[in-house]
Chains A and B, each alone.
Chain A
Amino acid sequence: MSTKPLPFFDPQKARGPRETPDVGGKQPTSSSGPMSVTLLVSRIKQALADRFDQSIQVVGEISNFKRHSSGHLYFRLKDANAAIDAVMFKASAKKLKFQPTDGLEVVASGRVDVYEVRGQLQLYVEHLTPKGTGALELAFRQMREKLQGEGLFDPAKKKPICRFARAIGVVTSPTGAAIRDIRRTTQRRWPGMAVYLLPALVQGEGAAAQLAEAISLLDADAHRYGIDTIIVARGGGSIEDLWAFNEESVARAIFAARTPIISGVGHEVDVTISDLVADARAATPTAAAEMAVCDAAELRTQVDGLQERLSRTVQAKLEVSRRALTAVLRSVVYRDPTAAIRTPAQRLDELTHRLRAGMAGLLASQRRRVEPAANSLAALHPATLAERAHGRLARLEDRLAWVLGGLSKQAGQSLAVLERRLAAIHPRHRLRLARQHVSAADRQLQAMSYHSVLQRGFSVTRTADGKILRSTGQVHAGLRIETQLSDGKIRSTVDESHADSADGKENTDMKTKHRPRRTDTQQGNLFV
């Protein structure tokens, strides 16, 4: 029996299900053939986008870090079991304050995607922060290490701060706490101190550049204004607020400056890179101003002290001189200069007397025999000799008194001159009293020294210019002279003068009018 073919179904001819178009994630069937790589990668990309449709945060360790010349950052984020490639484009990377390094644990936020060209899974990082510490803290540490390594903090390079600045310069904001505190402090300590402010932004965009420029400009022109010290200051704030003072440009400007710089940024606990580079660090702007400006009140006290020592020492010196002079005035030799001579003078008198008496008796009987020779002997009479000796003694006495009187007068005058000068310089000088003492002593001395002598009949002769005559050598014929007696003065002219001859004999033809004439009663007489 032959079978009739079935009208519908022929297994030989079966072609399988018809191909359907790929709509919304349906898996392609095996009969459509292998897909292209592009298709595969784009489907993976799509699947990824569906699953990770938002920004994610990933924590991991950086490795294989590379900063491309384009400014883009390429690295790998990994942990113990897995790793993923990461890229941070320049636009995001330039905002980083810290330097990413291999081994640093970070939290990266961004999007995952597939880099089609290489079929590579990547994390496109938009924000990067260090794990466990702030980005700024890390950046600070990194900058500190870097600059320290270059020697910017070297203590040997720090300049001493001037004690007596002629003027100070300030770099800070013209509004705000810092300049207010600085102004208040300088006015309190030394109102006359010249303060120059070159304003700059102290936080935000562009602050670092402004600060760095202001520091350089002020340093360059410091000598023109007599600025000996520069203060860089800012009031308190968070690490973000103070960030400009951690920037490299500011640090380098401070380091390069020739003028000593005091850094007074923030509060006591805030340490910035500027503080570390500066020649001196102050905890606050107020402390910076105190470091830069001395306390005028203290200095005034010091100056007063010096003036006191000056006055006291000079007065003491004068006192010493005065005492020495007074001691001399009081000494026996001074008060009674002729004391030493008196005893011998008296002895001479006695001897003269005895001699005279003896001679008179002895020669009485020999009178007639020696009469011819008596006259010539008269000239050799001891009494005459004694008389002459008396005369000389008296002259010596007077000279001594004169000289001492003159000396005391000179000393008194010099002292008076010095005292007057001192009084002129220092009006409140108290030596006037001492001066009166000296004048009084001087007067006493003068009283003792020559008035009694004048009253005894001696006189003082002076030349027209006031020099005392002591020797015939001082005069010549025609010279006008003035003689002082005990009760007045005589003016006259010299006729002629003669000096005594060498053996002391008087030349009896002296004709000068004022020579006191010796009367006969004063001469000794052999023939009494």
Chain B
Amino acid sequence: MGKAKLTFEKALEALERIVSEIEAGKVPLEESIDKYAQGVKLVERCREILDSAEAKIQLLAKGKGNALEEAGELTDEDVEAPSDPSRD
């Protein structure tokens, strides 16, 4: 399916909603199983976002017109060592 992946915010919201509905006890048994399946998928999506470990800083620069464009990554060498440790 061409659906865009849920943002963390939306996935968490949907998950909380499903859990509340099932806990409220008004959902029939078979539907509970369906919602359980949905819930498990949402849990996986949340974990996917939380556990991603890209950890980089993307540099931007002014490109054509006033649009920004990507200009490489900020490496550890670019960030100088602290000259005055008491400053922070």
B-binding residues in A (CB < 8 A): 163-164, 166, 169-170, 174-177, 179-181, 183, 187, 190-192, 194-199, 217-218, 220-221, 224-225, 235-236, 284, 286, 296, 299-300, 302-303, 306-307, 309-311, 313-314, 317-318, 321, 418, 421-422, 425-426
Contact A313 B22 (CB under 8 A): yes
Interface residues on B, range: 35 or more
Contact B88 A286 (CB under 8 A): yes
Given contacts A235-B87, A306-B15, A313-B19, contact A418 B74 (CB under 8 A): no
Given contacts A177-B87, A198-B60, contact A422 B15 (CB under 8 A): no
Contact B12 A303 (CB under 8 A): yes
- Chain B residues with CB under 8 A of A422: 33, 36
Contact B9 A163 (CB under 8 A): yes
Distance between A320 CB and nearest chain B CB, rounded to angstroms: 9
Which residue from A164, A218, A310 sits with its C-beta under 8 Å from B12? A164
In the complex, whether B2 has a CB less than 8 A from a CB of chain A is no
Given contacts A192-B51, A422-B33, contact A310 B22 (CB under 8 A): yes
Would you list 28 pairs from A and B whose C-beta atoms are within 8 A, ordered by A residue? A163-B9, A166-B7, A176-B80, A179-B79, A181-B88, A183-B74, A192-B50, A192-B51, A192-B52, A192-B55, A196-B57, A197-B59, A197-B74, A198-B68, A217-B62, A221-B68, A286-B88, A300-B50, A303-B43, A303-B47, A306-B16, A306-B39, A310-B19, A310-B22, A313-B19, A314-B33, A317-B29, A418-B33
Chain B: CB-nearest residue to A170: B57
Q: How far is the CA of A406 from the CA of B16 in the complex (A)?
A: 40
Nearest first, the 8 A-B pairs at minimum CB distance are A192-B52, A164-B9, A191-B55, A221-B68, A191-B53, A198-B60, A310-B39, A195-B57
Q: How far is the CA of A198 from the CA of B71 in the complex (A)?
A: 10
Contact A418 B30 (CB under 8 A): yes
Contact A307 B39 (CB under 8 A): yes
Q: How far is the CA of A221 from the CA of B78 in the complex (A)?
A: 24
Given contacts A163-B9, A176-B80, A303-B50, contact A310 B18 (CB under 8 A): yes
Contact B59 A235 (CB under 8 A): no
Distance between A426 CB and nearest chain B CB, rounded to angstroms: 7
Q: How far is the CA of A307 from the CA of B15 in the complex (A)?
A: 9
Distance between A310 CB and nearest chain B CB, rounded to angstroms: 5
Contact B58 A197 (CB under 8 A): yes
In the complex, whether B37 has a CB less than 8 A from a CB of chain A is yes
- Chain B residues with CB under 8 A of A220: 66
Contact A314 B32 (CB under 8 A): yes
Contact A180 B36 (CB under 8 A): no
Chain A: CB-nearest residue to B86: A236
Contact A236 B68 (CB under 8 A): no
Q: How far is the CA of A196 from the CA of B54 in the complex (A)?
A: 13
Which residue from B15, B23, B52, B60 sits with its C-beta under 8 Å from A313? B23
Q: How far is the CA of A497 from the CA of B47 in the complex (A)?
A: 67
Which residue from A196, A284, A300, A310 sits with its C-beta under 8 Å from B36? A310
Q: How far is the CA of A296 from the CA of B8 in the complex (A)?
A: 11
- Chain A residues with CB under 8 A of B15: 303, 306
- Chain A residues with CB under 8 A of B53: 191-192
Which residue from A166, A183, A299 sits with its C-beta under 8 Å from B79? A183
Q: How far is the CA of A175 from the CA of B19 in the complex (A)?
A: 46
Contact A236 B88 (CB under 8 A): yes
Distance between A385 CB and nearest chain B CB, rounded to angstroms: 49
- Chain B residues with CB under 8 A of A300: 47, 50-51
Distance between B67 CB and nearest chain A CB, rounded to angstroms: 6
Distance between A192 CB and nearest chain B CB, rounded to angstroms: 3
Q: How far is the CA of A306 from the CA of B41 in the complex (A)?
A: 12
- Chain A residues with CB under 8 A of B55: 187, 191-192
Contact A425 B37 (CB under 8 A): yes
- Chain B residues with CB under 8 A of A180: 79, 82
Contact B52 A195 (CB under 8 A): no
Contact A236 B12 (CB under 8 A): no
Q: How far is the CA of A113 from the CA of B64 in the complex (A)?
A: 55
Distance between B62 CB and nearest chain A CB, rounded to angstroms: 6
Distance between A223 CB and nearest chain B CB, rounded to angstroms: 12
Q: How far is the CA of A179 from the CA of B66 in the complex (A)?
A: 24
Given contacts A176-B80, A177-B88, A310-B22, contact A296 B50 (CB under 8 A): yes
Given contacts A176-B80, A191-B53, contact A306 B7 (CB under 8 A): no
Distance between B68 CB and nearest chain A CB, rounded to angstroms: 5
- Chain A residues with CB under 8 A of B57: 170, 179, 183, 195-197
Distance between A267 CB and nearest chain B CB, rounded to angstroms: 8
Beyond A174-B59, A221-B67, A314-B33, 20 additional contacts (C-beta under 8 Å) are: A164-B12, A174-B74, A175-B80, A176-B80, A177-B87, A181-B88, A191-B53, A192-B54, A196-B60, A217-B66, A218-B68, A225-B68, A236-B87, A303-B46, A303-B47, A306-B19, A309-B23, A317-B32, A425-B37, A426-B40
Distance between A167 CB and nearest chain B CB, rounded to angstroms: 9
Contact B60 A218 (CB under 8 A): yes
- Chain A residues with CB under 8 A of B23: 309, 313
- Chain B residues with CB under 8 A of A314: 22, 32-33, 36
Q: How far is the CA of A311 from the CA of B68 in the complex (A)?
A: 46
Given contacts A296-B50, A306-B16, contact A198 B29 (CB under 8 A): no
